[in-house]
Copies of this chain bind each other. A is one copy, B any other.
């Protein structure tokens, strides 16, 4: 690529672009209803339209922008109301996943065990506190592996629509370097109940998610413009 010798203006990949736009939209940098112009964004970020198009499509499946019927994409925007809706949706989908996990005889633990291993590995170097970005990724991995256990691809697809937005929120609200031990143990408790096929897992999951809800939304509201 032509700009390889200029490290500051190096071309961004689609994934970085999505991440940046997603955060901006959540924080209210774009007015709801305003139109996103591919060439404008491309110029501003110093890349071509190709990765921008990819990025817009990803944002669209996350519900942050809308693909207009005549072409073009407009910003849907994000409010604390939507953050609440997001938490409720997450709870709804994960409850459904858990219900199916507990109901079916055959299922595969592997993903859940692996994500717990990742969480544990991070405990082994307590001197360096995990960043909120790292923690949010570990959290998403854990919950995705839970949904994957249900072996229900439509459910997983639906869950995936909100996963990236959710992760961005966790990162923005700067959860949770100081309390990583607590964070870990909450997931440990939930994972154990799931693996034991203990029906209490459902309540634990609800508590796990509802607990996080209010504090995260409160912090999020401080950071949002609108």
Contact surface of A with B, Cβ cutoff 8 Å: 53-54, 57-58, 61-63, 76, 82, 85-86, 88-89, 92-93, 96, 152-162, 165
Contact = CB atoms under 8 A, between A and B. Distances in A.
Do most interface residues of chain A lie in helix, strand or loop, or is the interface mixed? helix
A115 to B, nearest CB: 15
A156 B63 CA distance: 8
A155 B158 CA distance: 9
A85 B104 CA distance: 13
A29 to B, nearest CB: 18
Contact of A82 (B96, B154, B165): B154
Contacts of A57: 54, 57-58
Contacts of A63: 153-154, 156-157, 160
Contacts of A154: 63, 82, 85-86, 89, 161-162, 165
